[in-house]
């Protein structure tokens, strides 16, 4: 997902209030089997015990780095904000 704004705070606000909300609304409109397929593309798996629950093995550590993403350890991770 991509978001932008005049400041970092505006970009983050756009990301969560517009981009994530739009993605979730679009998922809610899909039939259940398509939701499962779509979430599966991003690593989510349906719980075998609680059928309405999805789980993600990846997690973000304290430094904000996504783990279990299959990147070589030497890969440099950076975040860039551009103010126009």
As a whole number of angstroms, the distance between CA 59 and CA 71 comes to 14
Residue given tokens 């299959």 in the structure block: 70
Please write the tens of the pLDDT for every residue from 13-57.
Answer: 888 888 889 989 999 999 989 988 988 887 788 887 877 788 777
The pTM is what?
0.54
φ/ψ bin of 18: left (φ > 0), alpha (ψ from -120 to 50), beta (otherwise): alpha
The answer to whether residue 1 scores a pLDDT higher than 80 is no
Compare 84 and 26 and report the one with higher pLDDT.
26
- Tell me the domain boundaries of the chain: 8-67
The residue that leads in pLDDT, 79 or 11, is 11
């Amino acid at each position: 997902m991509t978001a932008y704004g005049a400041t970092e705070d505006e970009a983050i606000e756009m990301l969560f209030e517009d981009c994530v909300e739009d993605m979730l609304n679009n998922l809610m409109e899909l039939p259940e089997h398509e939701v499962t397929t779509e979430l599966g593309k991003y690593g989510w798996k349906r719980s075998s015990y609680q059928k309405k629950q999805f789980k993600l093995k990846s997690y973000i550590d304290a430094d904000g780095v996504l783990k279990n993403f299959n990147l070589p350890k030497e890969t440099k991770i950076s975040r860039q904000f551009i103010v126009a």
